[in-house]
Structures are given as structure tokens and as C-alpha cells.
Amino acid sequence: MTENTNRDDGGIARRAVLASLGVSTAALAGCTSGTSTDPSNTSNSTDGGGISAEGSDVFTSIEMGDTTLEIEVADDASVELINLIDPNGELFDQQRLASGETTTSFEILGRYEDSVPTGDYELVALDGDEQVDTTTLTLEAECTITDVLWAAENPDMEWDKNSPDWDEYAAVVIENTGTIPSLLTELRWRSSPVARLLSKESQSYYHEAHLPPGKTTVYSKGSVYATDGAVHSLDCDELGTEPMTVTAHVQVGSNPSYTQEIKYGDSQSCEITIVDGSTGTSISSGGEN
């Protein structure tokens, strides 16, 4: 999973899956053309894990869990189908309620593609071909890398000390200021010491770490700051102070990056240090999702 899937291809895949499940053309038309624009049915505020549905007589509860959007409708509402429309106006998913059912869910993370559109989604309740109610909710994940920590300088953290190389590992602190979780799928370490040691442009480690709103510390699954290998050591005579950039590939939102300056020693010791005052710079790559 080194490249994020193109969003348009993901939309085609979703439509193909939905078509195979028998989603009716009438239901699709009902959700895209007859939508209410009444501002009282618009909701994009959050309260804890809940997403408000103020102004809706049908949607009584909307909550975002680790991976799914949980929906509850009123007991007396006559609802057969619920459509979730993404910010591009495409049908993201559809759920059918059996007679007497009042709850359902939409899987947001871990779906068919690597990226999920962010922004205003429309939730549409249908009774057959008739639109019963609609509400708007904002699904955003704004991820930023706020720090990169070297195990050798932070030995009291939760490193995997069963590994003989644990002091070469790194931890990435990711802050999500959005309304929903994101999912980290990869940390790519460009021009890291271990990548230079392996004569590679970058070294990647794959992850499946949930990033709920707030700060999450993710530990690397292998060496990042290694300068010695089984076959040879890094030739530090050719290096001075060099940048290392880590990019977090996330499923919701833009891929954030963070650059840290590393000073390499001489050929005899090749000791490395993180440059004093090198707090790093963090950017988001909006084009990769």
C-alpha cells in the first residue's frame, strides 16, 4: 500500500458493489435530486462521540465509532432505506432497515480504497422512493505530525524492548483535530539513517493504527536511526547535517509530513544527533489523498 488509490476509481468500485447489491435507480435519484436544503436540517457540530442531528425528526442519534458511523432513527419513523452521500455528490453507501429496525451503521474506515473523501456528507432517509428526511454532517480528519522521538533519547517510552535494536526505533506523535478518526496505513521515512544504510531513498513500515481526535503516539515497526548493519556501516564522512522526512499515509484527510535535521559524525564513530533546536516542520500533502 505505497500509493493511495485514486478517489475516482474508489467511487467506481463503490458504485459497482452497490449495484451488485441491488440498489435501485429510483433510490439513487431520490437521494441526489430531491434533497431538502432547509438549514434547520443541517448539522455539523459534535458532542463527544456524537454528531448532532438537530432539526431532524427522523435521525435521533448519529455517532462515530472507531470505524463505523452509527445511525438511529425514531421508533415511529417509516424508513426503508438510508443513503449516505459523499461531498462529491456520489452515493457512498446505502443501508436497508427491516421492518421494526431502528439502527444501522456505515463503515467509514477500512473500506474499498485507501482514501475517504472529507467534508459535508448527506444522510437521506427513504420510504420506498419517497424521501422522508435528510440531514448534513461533516466528516473531517485533520492530521498533523507534531513530534518525532528517537528511542535512544526517550528510553522510558513504550518501546518493544524485546527487539535488540529497539533504541534505533522512532515514535511519531500525530494530532487529529478533526471530527472523526482516521486510519494510519504507512509511515514512510525518506532519507532516514536506515534508508541511507540500505542505499534506499526511503524506508516504509506498514501500520493499521486508528487516529481518533486528539493526539496518538505511533511506534515504528523497525529501525529508523540505524547506522550499522549486518554487512556494512554507513559512511558518515560523506554526510554532514541532513534532513529526514517522515510521511504518514492516512485513510481520511491529507497525508502529513514532518522533517527533522540529523547531524552525522565521522567515519570512526558515525554517531548521530538530532540538531539542537530542530523541532521539525510539519506539512500536509493535500494531493496524495
DSSP one-letter string for 219-258: E-SS-SS--B-SS-B--GGG-SEEEEEEEEEESBS-EEEE
Mean pLDDT computed over 186-215: 94
Mean pLDDT computed over 174-178: 94
Mean pLDDT computed over 2-17: 38
For the chain, the distance separating the N- and C-terminal CA atoms, rounded to the nearest angstrom, is 13
Q: What per-residue confidence (pLDDT) applies to 228?
A: 85
pTM comes to: 0.74
Grid coordinates given for 219: 511506534
Grid coordinates given for 83: 443513503
Query: Most confidently modeled of 34-48, 65-79, 91-105, 162-176?
Result: 162-176
Q: 142-167 burial string, b = 16+ CB within 10 Å, else e?
A: bbbbebbbbbeeeeeeebeeeeeeeb
Q: What per-residue confidence (pLDDT) applies to 261?
A: 95
Q: Which of 219, 281, 284 lies closest to 250 in space, CA to CA? A: 284
Tell me the CA distances in angstroms from 191 to 161, 200, 256, one per residue in order. Answer: 25, 8, 16
Structural domain spans, the chain? 7-139, 143-288
Q: What per-residue confidence (pLDDT) applies to 11?
A: 41
Q: Which of 236, 25, 193, 9 lies closest to 111 in space, CA to CA? A: 9
Mean pLDDT computed over 116-123: 89
Grid coordinates given for 180: 472523526
Q: What per-residue confidence (pLDDT) applies to 19?
A: 39
Grid coordinates given for 21: 447489491
Other CB atoms within a 10 A radius of the CB of residue 84 amount to: 20
> Which residues neighbour 76 within 8 Å (Cβ) at sequence distance 6 or greater?
none
CA distance 224 to 151: 10
Grid coordinates given for 179: 471530527
CB-based burial of residue 33 (10 Å sphere; 0-12 exposed, 13-18 middle, 19+ buried)?
exposed
The CATH number of the structural domain formed by 7-139 is 2.60.40.10
Grid coordinates given for 69: 458511523
CB-based burial of residue 273 (10 Å sphere; 0-12 exposed, 13-18 middle, 19+ buried)?
middle
Q: How confident is the model at residue 285 (pLDDT cuts 50, 70, 90)?
A: low
**Helices and strands (DSSP H and E) totals, the chain:** 3, 18
